[in-house]
Structure 1
Amino acid sequence: SLVGSFYIFAIWIGIGVYGLYEEFSKLIKPKVWAPLITLICLLSVPGVMAYQNWDDHDRSGRYTARAAAKAYLDSCQEEAGAMLFTIGDNDTFPLWYVQEIEGYRNDVRVICTSLFATDWYVDQMKRKAYRSDPIPSQLTHDLYRYGNRDVIYYQGITDKRWDIKDFMIWVGSNDPQTKLGSLLEKQGADLSGYSESTLDLVYYPTNKIRIPVNKKNVLESGLVKEKDSALIVDYIDIDLPQALPKNRIMMLDIIANNDWKRPIYFSGGSFDKAEYIWMKDYLQLEGMAYKLVPIKTQNPSSYEMGRIDTDEMYRIVKGWEWGNSGSSDIYHDTQTRTQGLSLRSNLARLVEALINENKIDKAREIIDLTMDNLPVAYYGFYTFVEPFLDGYYKVGDTQKARDLFGELKLIYQSRLNYYQGTPLDEQYNNLEDIIGDMEGYRRIIDILIENNDREMAEKETEIFNDHIDQFSHFYQEDILEELPDEDMPADELIDTMPVSDTILEDATEVENVGN
């Protein structure tokens, strides 16, 4: 690609070459100097650029994208005809590479939902590829070709909940009664005001769909382990939106025809309900992917989805490659660091689940594995490190917890010191970042208090207050009034510490921290 700045660079380089020629031609004959200065510039300019930028563009030894792709694929059940819905770019292209070039886990059918709205891509998905079978589907090419069922619309004719098979029969029918023109005619509308393409649109009379659960297939396919068989529901009810684009129609087509014979996974690259076929309450986190299971899980938030089978996820994670992600010898670019968000988030949930099940040794292994391969120094996003700080305390590794706290503390202090040294107007411009760092610093002190690390908490609170005081000119009303006096006795310190309300709920713990 070519951008305007390239022209500017070229102009200034040319001016520089001519300037050097003018200077040195006074000392040396032009006939000798002209080719010499040209040669020097041709060598030195790229040399300087390489010297200054090589480390920022050096990809040698960095296999993080490849490792992430394998992690996604290894999260899918092996040799079971697994289908993995991805969204595009980072959760898709690396997977295609390892499947197509390295022949790795090509038993998994990767389905990119961004492309699933095109007829040619649907045709590809309906053909066998390597070791993966075609997608289960009843819609034929003439029903989803370009310009046909690109989108269908909901018309509330009935509140009855339809079986998904009946719904797909309606969607795939060319019967005139399934078309918008027929409905408008029944309603007495003047059809002359509508285009032919509009009248030929398919509509659906109900948005209430029921997906029956074939428990026999669920257990035989290994979707759910025998120990969890009592949790399997008889059916899943979903409510569709006002319109369905072609990719969502095709996803529903797969659900209708799969009958729980093959495992279905989602990459988790979005929180949109549609990306999970409106079944976010029926997911199981397995490594980097979410498996669709007929077990209802009430998610605590829209950002935390699915149940966890700790034994299965632990097995998957322990088999991952990491592609030198924790090495100091590679350049951790923006995309590499961003990938760490999903990894940390999923592994933090695994750690929490292991601790809740009293599997302390396994939890400790996962925390160490995470910190070794996603170190704070290279991956940033410090909020996502907090669960591991808390986890170290929970598994009894107090010293590792303190070391990790110290690492995070120095980062927050360094950032706050930088902002404190900038002019006041710049501080106001960066107010959101400053407050974010203050709150992050405060949260890690919350963790010390929550885990009853009394000595550390008291000492670090004083240091924290000193850093907050640097910004009293715009932060005093919101934060400083909550902070304790420097001379306040230790036993009263906890009552005024700027911690979250949930930490103060346990009166016994609070008393222990203060005494």
Structure 2
Amino acid sequence: MLPNVQWTISKNYLYKSELAILDILSNNKWERPVYFAITVGGDSYMNLDDYFRLDGLAYRLTPIKASNKDGQTGWIDTDILYNNLMNKFTWGGIERKDVYLNENNLRMTMNFRNNFSRLASALIDEGKRDSAVKVLDQCMKVMPAETVPYNVFVLGIIEGYYRAGELKKATEITEKMIKLTQGELDYYLSLDKSNVSTVENETQRAMSVMQELSRLTRQYSQQELSKKIDDKFKIYYEKFITLFPQPQQ
């Protein structure tokens, strides 16, 4: 724990809201917790990111400076985040098929899945594999594919299962993710030239997911599955460069 927090605000102007934050920090003296929502833009953090602890849907400002291996914002106290995600948080029935989730609800689930996967990774780093598996299982329980469709944030769940030695669970989700991504690419690459340009970003994103699935399966010795992904990727890549010619270097 540091005796004080020193940081640089990398701009030459401040908004009233930022002055208010500085006033709070100056007068609070660590007597009450100060939180920043994880859903606001990084500009709102005023370069205090290195002192943030991830507590769930908010970062708590702490007198502790820590760097993260994953490059994401906020260091993790596994006891606190585990208690929040596994015991304190309630999920409003998002696992139920009769509960409607609109676009905003589904967007928020990306943050939830990311928190679960980050916690699992931190627990594995601490040698707590059993706890990590419980965290990943809870994530899949409260946000099943039937109500919260798989997306890029499932990749962290897959890697967590692989790292924890749960190959069967990791492979099951991987195969579902392959099928989903192939369906997306089949659709995107079937469009005629007048429409395909509108989905170039989505196509690139799906291609990136295929590459990451290939990397994960290869890294964790699932060679047969990795080859299956690579073979499919080559086919999609040939179609991709035909529809989206890349600029010459």
Query: Could you tell me the TM-score, scaled by structure 1's length?
Result: 0.45
* CA displacement, residues 168-187 of structure 1 (integer Å, 9 cap, x when unaligned): xxxxxxxxxxxxxxxxxxxx
Alignment-derived partner of residue 80 in structure 2: 312
- Superposition map of 1:187-202 within 5 A: none
Could you tell me which amino acid in structure 2 is paired with residue 255 of structure 1?
A: L
Show structure 1 runs of 4+ deviating over 6 A: none
Q: Is the 8 A contact 2:213 2:229 kept in 1?
A: no
Structure-1 separation of matches of 2:216 and 2:2: 38
Could you tell me which amino acid in structure 2 is paired with residue 370 of structure 1?
A: C
- Superposition map of 1:485-500 within 5 A: none
Q: Is the 8 A contact 2:178 2:229 kept in 1?
A: no
Alignment-derived partner of residue 437 in structure 1: 206
Q: Is the 8 A contact 1:282 1:296 kept in 2?
A: yes
Alignment-derived partner of residue 245 in structure 1: 15
Find the residue that maps to 1:298 and give its secondary structure.
coil
Structure-1 separation of matches of 2:67 and 2:218: 30
State the 1:468 CA deviation.
3.6
* CA displacement, residues 98-129 of structure 1 (integer Å, 9 cap, x when unaligned): xxxxxxxxxxxxxxxxxxxxxxxxxxxxxxxx
Structure-2 separation of matches of 1:401 and 1:248: 44
Alignment-derived partner of residue 173 in structure 2: 404
State the 1:424 CA deviation.
2.8
**Pick from 268, 275, 280: which aligns with 2:49?**
280
- Superposition map of 1:463-482 within 5 A: 463-471=232-240, 473-474=242-243
Alignment-derived partner of residue 224 in structure 2: 455
Structure-2 separation of matches of 1:431 and 1:244: 38
Structure-1 separation of matches of 2:230 and 2:14: 54
State the 1:277 CA deviation.
4.6
Alignment-derived partner of residue 33 in structure 2: 263
The higher radius of gyration belongs to 1
State the 1:367 CA deviation.
0.8
Gaps of 5+ in 2: none
Q: Is the 8 A contact 1:281 1:299 kept in 2?
A: no
Alignment-derived partner of residue 116 in structure 2: 347
- Superposition map of 1:136-175 within 5 A: none
- How many residues matched? 245
Compared with structure 1, are the counterparts of its residues 398 and 475 closer, same or farther at alpha carbon in structure 2 (3 Å cutoff)? farther
Find the residue that maps to 2:7 and give its secondary structure.
strand
Query: Could you tell me the TM-score, scaled by structure 2's length?
Result: 0.88
Alignment-derived partner of residue 102 in structure 1: none
Compared with structure 1, are the counterparts of its residues 233 and 364 closer, same or farther at alpha carbon in structure 2 (3 Å cutoff)? same
State the 1:270 CA deviation.
2.3
Find the residue that maps to 1:291 and give its secondary structure.
strand
State the 1:419 CA deviation.
2.4
Q: Is the 8 A contact 2:96 2:147 kept in 1?
A: no
Structure-2 separation of matches of 1:420 and 1:474: 8
Q: Is the 8 A contact 1:337 1:378 kept in 2?
A: no
State the 1:308 CA deviation.
0.8
Q: Is the 8 A contact 1:376 1:385 kept in 2?
A: no
Structure-1 separation of matches of 2:168 and 2:213: 15
Alignment-derived partner of residue 488 in structure 1: none
**Pick from 39, 63, 81: which aligns with 1:294?**
63
Find the residue that maps to 1:307 and give its secondary structure.
coil
Deviates more, 1:250-259 or 1:353-362: 250-259
Could you tell me which amino acid in structure 2 is paired with residue 259 of structure 1?
A: K
Could you tell me which amino acid in structure 2 is paired with residue 365 of structure 1?
A: K
Alignment-derived partner of residue 369 in structure 1: 138
State the 1:285 CA deviation.
1.0
**Pick from 316, 323, 336: which aligns with 2:92?**
323
* CA displacement, residues 190-216 of structure 1 (integer Å, 9 cap, x when unaligned): xxxxxxxxxxxxxxxxxxxxxxxxxxx
Structure-1 separation of matches of 2:47 and 2:195: 45
Find the residue that maps to 2:73 and give its secondary structure.
coil
Find the residue that maps to 2:14 and give its secondary structure.
strand
Q: Is the 8 A contact 1:252 1:277 kept in 2?
A: no
Q: Is the 8 A contact 2:97 2:146 kept in 1?
A: no
Structure-1 separation of matches of 2:93 and 2:214: 31
Structure-2 separation of matches of 1:475 and 1:451: 32
Structure-2 separation of matches of 1:442 and 1:298: 27
Gaps of 5+ in 1: 1-231, 479-515
Compared with structure 1, are the counterparts of its residues 374 and 237 closer, same or farther at alpha carbon in structure 2 (3 Å cutoff)? same
Find the residue that maps to 1:290 and give its secondary structure.
strand
Find the residue that maps to 1:382 and give its secondary structure.
coil
Compared with structure 1, are the counterparts of its residues 417 and 357 closer, same or farther at alpha carbon in structure 2 (3 Å cutoff)? same
